[in-house]
A and B are shown apart, each in its own frame.
Chain A
Amino acid sequence: MGLGATVGADLLSVPFPKMVFDLAQAIAKGQTALDRSSLATLRVLAKTEFDYVPEIVEVIQAGDTTTAGGVTVTGVDVVPQPTRSIPLTLLQAGLTPSFYQFTESVIEVKMAISSKVSTQSEFEFGVEATASAGFLFASGSVSSHVDFRTSNTYSYSAEGSSLLRTTLKPVPPPARMMPRFITINTLVQPPQVTTSE
């Protein structure tokens, strides 16, 4: 198998579909948990009541007071006239839970694959010839050698990293989760109807 095929196989072995599935599943779980938390906040807001006193009427009127010495002097009395308090919940008053939504998700996979092949060859050729001559004989010899050395070095490395990034943004509460307040003010004629969502 060639090196190109190995690199291709390595790239194909990245579990991309699984990564996308895992990310999607994690987002879905996270979104459910966030929605549950927002609904729990909604319940707390709807249960937290307080008495709203829309106005306090204070009547300033003349009132004589007696000093320590027994002298009566003209003074002023402030008489508060309590008005009816209105029980309200924090939700009615104007606090709503924050809802969040995953708006963008990115999977980034980085792979660095390097392969290196080096071939080294050595070739050596030598010839040695000797000759000698005497009175009755002569001789000669020739020797030669051939050396051939070859070595191949293969190196291959693959490094990978992945990054999952999601963006979470606050969004308006889903319309079906928030109650609609219809206020009918019978103090005015004709009664005034106000609707707020």
Chain B
Amino acid sequence: MNLESYRMYLIAVQGGLTDEKSRDLQRFVRYHEGFILMVTRTGPVVALDEAKSTLVSNHPLVEFMGPVELNPRGFLARELESIFAANLGKQVELVEGESALRS
């Protein structure tokens, strides 16, 4: 899987985050081959193909979506990186598993 064109985005959910909204949005991101890196009180931090970012940012549940980066000098940079890597690892494995089942 080519992740070169993927970038990290922080999504702020319209009208505050609820479990239902979070699930809907995560499903939508996954449908567009994105990955959920972490879920915050504002909304999820996702990895998404740049070309599909407009599709997600136009979703009615999305109030705001902006590209973000990891600041290596941040207080919890290493922890965030390992959380992102762990969550990404699970989902990439799942995608590869799904494609293997299809073929």
- Using a CB–CB cutoff of 8 Å, the interface residues on chain A facing chain B are 37-38, 40-41, 44-45, 47-50, 52, 88, 90-98, 170, 181, 183, 196-197
Contacts and interface: CB of A to CB of B under 8 A. Distances in A.
29 contacts: A37-B66, A38-B66, A40-B64, A41-B10, A41-B68, A44-B10, A44-B42, A44-B64, A45-B10, A48-B41, A91-B74, A92-B74, A92-B76, A93-B74, A93-B79, A93-B80, A94-B73, A94-B80, A95-B45, A95-B71, A96-B68, A96-B69, A97-B68, A98-B67, A98-B68, A170-B69, A183-B75, A196-B75, A197-B73
Contact of A94 (B12, B64, B71): B71
Given A40-B64, A45-B10, A95 B70 contact: yes
Question: Which of A48, A52, A94 is packed against the most chain B CB atoms within 10 Å?
Answer: A94
A197 B41 CA distance: 24
B46 to A, nearest CB: 12
Rank and list the top 5 A-B pairs by shortest CB-CB distance, nearest first: A94-B74, A41-B66, A94-B77, A98-B67, A196-B73
Given A38-B67, A88-B76, 18 more contacts: A38-B66, A52-B76, A90-B10, A92-B74, A93-B74, A93-B75, A93-B79, A94-B73, A94-B75, A94-B76, A95-B10, A95-B45, A96-B71, A97-B69, A98-B69, A181-B75, A196-B73, A196-B75
Give the size range of B's interface with the partner. Answer: 20 to 34
